[in-house]
Structure 1
Amino acid sequence: MVSWLETFRDLHRLREIGGILFRHGLGHVAQRLHLPGIWRWRRQPDPAVLPFSLAQRVRMIFEELGPTFVKFGQILSIRRDVLPLEYIEEFEKLQDAVPPVPFADVERIIYEEFGRSVKEVFKEFVSEPLASASIAQAHLARTQTDRQVIVKVQRPQIRQIILQDAAIMDHMARLLTRHIPEIRLYNPLGLVEEFRKSILQELDFRREGRNADRLRSHLQEITGIAIPLVYWEYTTPRVLTIEYVVGRGLREVLDQPSAERHRIAANLYQAFLKQIFEDGFFHGDPHPGNLLFMPNGTVYLLDFGIVGRVSRERLAGLGSMFMAIIDQDVEMLLDECVALGLMPADVNRQALQHELDELLAEYLELPLREISLGQILETLFALGRKHRLKVPANLVLLGKTLLTVEGVIRTLDPAFALVDEAHWEVERLVRSRLSPEVFLKSGWRTTRQLYHFAQRLPHRLERTLQHLEEGRVRVELMPGTEAHVLRQWELMWNRAIRGAVVCALIIGSSLLLQARIGPLLGGLSLAGLLGYVLALLLGLPVLRSLGRWEDSAEP
């Protein structure tokens, strides 16, 4: 829970947010959130923004709120499993270009990181930045060994700014959850927490350098793909130094012969299929601005702040799922979707199978060059969202990455048969996982896991029994089962109380009959006889319910 002290500290920022919401025609949201200073902003929205859609106005609000909210919007643009398409399309337009910081700040950060001045660390350093973004700006430089490099320097105080804005976002998410119940479907608290973790990781530039090294090692056997070198002696948490590469953009290579463009497209597609289906570690933001094309046809991948990871189990499932899509095997596709968590296990299989049949028929009847694996995956995410299932974030990023790469491929070669190319590549990768070497390695890993499990089992059993004896075992009920358990508990106590009353009546009536307490009827106590009748009337329903329980308990 956010304290009132923290809210007071951020009062100015919250008032600013309230004013921006009112200006963009969302004053009712600010009022429902009870933002401070609402009375100051009770006015009509800016008429200039009213013609824009709600999604467009939300994007404009993020832009006005500054770099942290722009980065948040960019992260949200990946979450196609959560947000409607019109918001995704608007958030994809967000650009985090900002004015550069003074060179004196750059010099100070480099001195704080290396303990030496810029002139001592680098042989040459251009003071004018090549580019400036919300987190860092890039400068051209030359190392002491005469290597031309790009130096990415973090903006001053950016970590504190992001932490403060993230705390305000968290507070806003809690207000949204509390005061606007209909927005809980989008899990605002979870989205803010995901953003906070992602952005804090991005602030450590060494992580980006390690991502580049790992991708380079995975792709070294792929023809025509390259990753810039990282100069670790010039890299710290706030400074990243990489190889300077001069090349052309995507639009500038479209004048190449069609055969050359097809070769470039094939190499690029093969590289990403390998990253996803074989390595389980892939570049998560391959838009045209992060691709550099060399005169010899080599493609350099740039910017490794966003990467995706897929576990070994999900890799096997993804390969099988795409093979099922290509082979139009609906039954296998449904099984893999459930295994991957894209569909709930208790889903109506018959209804969903009909939907998947229609999906495959819609896509696979198209010409091969028009079929998109990324689009099919996005449609599967939409089906999962329809069934209120939360798709894992790494799979959502995978879907967006595939869509982006396929867009680049189609720009290079509109006739490129994506599914046909993927079929052979995925089949090869799936087949490689069935090799004797992989089976041996997998079997050895499973044997070790079983051995360690067997070693720990006696201790775990002993600890569980001890907790049972001490009464320290807690039973947690699945959501939705509490009411059922309470009903059963109430029914059980009703039966127990009724049974106790019946027993008391039988015992009391027997004593009355034995003592011949009057009035008498045929020598028998009338009160005792009435007690037996009452016991019979109360006891029969209990006996019938016990009989039904025994019948239902039989196998």
Structure 2
Amino acid sequence: MLKHKLRRGAVVSRYGEIIGVLSKYGLAEFVSHRPFLRRLSIPLTRSGGRLRPPRLVRESFAQRLRRALEELGPTFIKFGQILADRADVIPETVITELKKLQNEVAPFPSSEARARVEKSLGKQIDHLFLHFSDTPEGSASLAQVHRAILPTGQPVAVKIKRPGIDDQIMADLEIMKQLAGFLDSYTSYFPVVTAAEIIREFEVQIVKELDFEEEFLSITKFAADYENDDTVAVARVYGDYVTRDVLVQEFMHGRKVSDVIAGSDSAYDKKEINRRTADFVMSQLFINGYFHADPHPGNFLVLQGNVICFIDFGMVYSLRPYEQENLNLMMIGLSRLDPSLVARSLLRMGYAEGTVDPDRFEAVVHDYIESHLARPLEYIDIPAALMELLQMVINYGVRLPPRLIYVAKVLGSLQTIGAGLDPEFQLLKYLRNFAPRMWVSQVASDRAGNKVLNSALNWQEAILNAPMLLQDVHRLLRDRKLVIDIPEADRISETLDRIGFRMTFGLVLSALLVSSSLVVLADIQPQIAGIPLFGIVGFSVGGVMGLVFLFAGMVSFFRWHKHHR
């Protein structure tokens, strides 16, 4: 986790820049609220004057917002890109525009890249690599990549964090959190979640992306999960060359799937690539519960032999066990058009802000499935339908885990890739064929065994705690601190007394017979006719008690029969 002490002067200066850019695009109404700025001790402008009125523009709000985010830099670009995935809180018109945000920026000088590597790894470049290319392979808002060759001769890709990006993002996050608090205090801009919640989710994600050691762990996990799958390749990461600011991994020679889609190279079997991609993505979501959350066409390669290779593991999410279990059930329900299964899994995944009638909720889900999924496969857009379903559930008052939004996003990317590689690809049909593997995963997984074990442990705990609980209840009843009002309590009490007496009588009789048997088997003295005397006495008393017990039972039965005849 990144920890930074931010200078107040830097934050105030950045506030001025943000207000200036928002004002430029006519978006300063939120942050120009005077009580808010006065409470933060922020001057209205860097020059001490008042905010200029926004320049009149003919662009839409969404267009102006996108341009402002791009001008504000990496933090806000990343924030806009994440908002573009939140169809549950952002209008579609804004999402369409935010998807145009460009992440590529001008590269920083190779001298800075070399200095960053040397400082992070503690050695001179010449001692780390046989060759280090000064020309970057690509440059993005957080980092850029250079090619190099290790002393072993292995070609590698060196990912280097942009200098100063940590401080800039931490300052921006501090400002965004304060602005979110203002939005939640003075407006209700986001009807479903608070602005503060959105910023918290964004902070967790971007701080994770800034730490390349986190990405190293993600890549290592993916490599372990698919080490025996020859249709998938995961670039090897060299642990000795990994820090929070630098990550060195094997350079993979392949073509981006976006280029494969656009090209006509016969060396690539597009249908096979699509099948492997779908299997890879589905196994992440519904079997492993650990998935690459940004599998767009430009973010993974196709290697020789139609082997697929995802790159850039900065955006990876894991599903909690109960989330994956119910996600699987929901997708199985959708593939089978089973509203009951879909409704139950959604309610178990989320939590209701009020009282939800399960039957009414199931009826709403049923109507939704009938109108969106009960049609020919070629007319069904599963990602869009899933997103609409999640939106409907949220509007119904059921809060869902944000990870589900990213699941819908991943399925959307899969559908886009599938349509490009194989025009006959139908995601819902694929889901139906994949459903049996989901069932097997549910039953055969370690989670299923853990659930059985946890249930057994819970029962064990309940049984062990029962005597103490009964003592507590007895004490409360004795001290008249617990009053139970039961109709016909006297008659019920008499019945319970009779039952208790019979149970006690039966236990004593059983104990007597068992102990007498043990005495006989022990062959102890004194004996009569070779049978221990105490055994004879025990069996005799037990026999008499048994006859009394049987007689009392018969009398009780005849009385009951006579009374109810």
TM-score of Structure 1 vs Structure 2, range by shorter chain: 0.7 to 0.9
Of the structure 1 ranges 437-446 and 76-85, higher mean CA displacement relative to structure 2 is found in: 437-446
Work out whether 1:105 is the aligned partner of 2:106: no
Q: Which residue in 1 is equivalent to 2:422? A: 413
- Aligned residue number for residue 169 of structure 1: 176
SS in structure 2 of the partner of residue 137 of structure 1: strand
Deviations 1:291-347, CA, capped at 9 Å, x for gaps: 112242111111101112112222221111111112111122111111111766732
1:214 to 210, 216, 221: 221
Residue 391 (structure 1) shift: 2.3
Please, what TM-score do these two structures have when normalized by structure 2? 0.74
Q: 1:291 to 1:439 in 2, by over 3 A?
A: closer
Q: Which residue of 1 aligns with 2:300?
A: 291
Where do residues 50-61 of structure 1 align in structure 2 (5 Å cutoff)?
Answer: 50-61=57-68
Partner of 1:29: helix, strand, or coil?
coil
Change (3 A) 1:117 1:336: same
Against the structure 1 CA distance between its residues 219 and 366, is the aligned structure 2 distance closer, same or farther, given a 3 Å change threshold? farther
Contact 1:177 1:184 in 2 (8 A): no
Look up the SS of the partner of 1:241 in the other structure. Answer: strand
Aligned with residue 238 of structure 1, among 231, 237, 245: 245
2:209 aligned with 1:202? yes
Unaligned runs of 5+ in 1: 463-555
Counterpart residue number, 1:46: 55
2:306 matched to 1:305? no
Give 3-state SS (helix, strand or coil) of 2:255's partner: coil
The alpha carbon displacement at 1:75 in A equals 2.0
Instruction: Give the length in aligned residue pairs.
Output: 457
- Assess if the C-alpha contact under 8 Å between 1:291 and 1:302 holds in 2: yes
Aligned with residue 77 of structure 1, among 67, 80, 84: 84
Give 1:73 shift. 1.4
Tell me, yes or no, if the aligned pair for 2:231 and 2:306 is still in contact at 8 Å.
Answer: yes
Distance 1:402-1:455 versus aligned 2 partners, 3 A rule: farther
2:13 is aligned to 12
Choose the corresponding residue for 1:324, options 310, 316, 333: 333
Q: After TM superposition, give the deviation of residue 142 of structure 1 in Å.
A: 0.4
Cα distance 1:29–1:437, how it changes in 2: closer, same or farther (>3 A)? closer
Matched AA of 2:102: Q
Q: Distance in 2 between matches of 1:8 and 1:109?
A: 26
User: 1:26 aligns to what?
Assistant: 27
Q: CA deviation at 1:440?
A: 4.9
Which residue of structure 2 aligns with residue 224 of structure 1? 231
Cα RMSD between the aligned structures?
A: 3.1
Change (3 A) 1:19 1:327: same
2: distance between equivalents of 1:384 and 1:73?
24
Deviates more, 1:418-427 or 1:257-266: 257-266
Distance (whole Å) between structure 1 residues aligned to residue 193 and residue 117 of structure 2: 41
Secondary structure at 2:399 match in 1: coil
- Distance, in Å, in 1 between the alignment partners of 2:16 and 2:133 is 40
Alignment correspondent of 1:68: 75
Contact 1:230–1:242 (CA under 8 A) maintained in structure 2: yes
Q: 1:65-119: per-residue Cα shift (whole Å, max 9, x none)?
A: 1111111112222222222222222222222222222222222222222221111
Distance between the aligned counterparts of 2:268 and 2:116, measured in 1?
48
Q: Mapping of 1:381-396 within 5 angstroms?
A: 381-396=390-405
Range moving further from structure 2, 31-40 or 77-86: 31-40
Partner of 2:382: 373
Give the TM-score, by structure 1 length.
0.75
The percentage of aligned residue pairs carrying the same residue is 28
Q: Supply the AA of the counterpart residue of 1:103.
A: S
Q: Provide the C-alpha distance between the structure 1 equivalents of 2:79 and 2:453, rounded to a whole number of angstroms.
A: 43
Q: Find the counterpart in structure 1 of residue 410 from structure 2.
A: 401
**2:343 paired with 1:334:** yes
Q: Which amino acid letter does the alignment assign opposite residue 20 of structure 2?
A: G
Further displaced range: 215-224 or 196-205:
215-224
**Deviations, residues 147-191 of structure 1 (Å, cap 9, x unaligned):** 001000112222122111111111211222223344575411111
Deviations 1:326-377 (A, max 9, x none): 2111122111111111766732445544432332223323332443432232
Question: What is the rounded CA distance, in whole Å, between the counterparts of 1:459 and 1:204 in structure 2?
Answer: 50
Cα distance in 2 for partners of 1:458, 1:256 equals 75
> d(CA) in 1 for partners of 2:448 and 2:359?
35
Q: Corresponding residue for 2:364?
A: 355
Cα distance per residue 1:513-540 (max 9 Å; x no partner): xxxxxxxxxxxxxxxxxxxxxxxxxxxx
- CA distance in 2 between counterparts of 1:280 and 1:81 reads 22
CA distance in 1: counterparts of 2:266 and 2:370, whole angstroms: 35
Query: Which amino acid is 1:200 matched to?
Result: V
Deviation at 1:266, TM superposition (A): 1.1
Residue pair 2:352, 2:397 contacting (<8 A) in 1 also: no
| Segment of structure 1 superposing worse, 177-186 or 373-382 | 177-186
Higher deviation after alignment, 440-449 or 81-90: 440-449
Matched, 1:434 2:443: yes
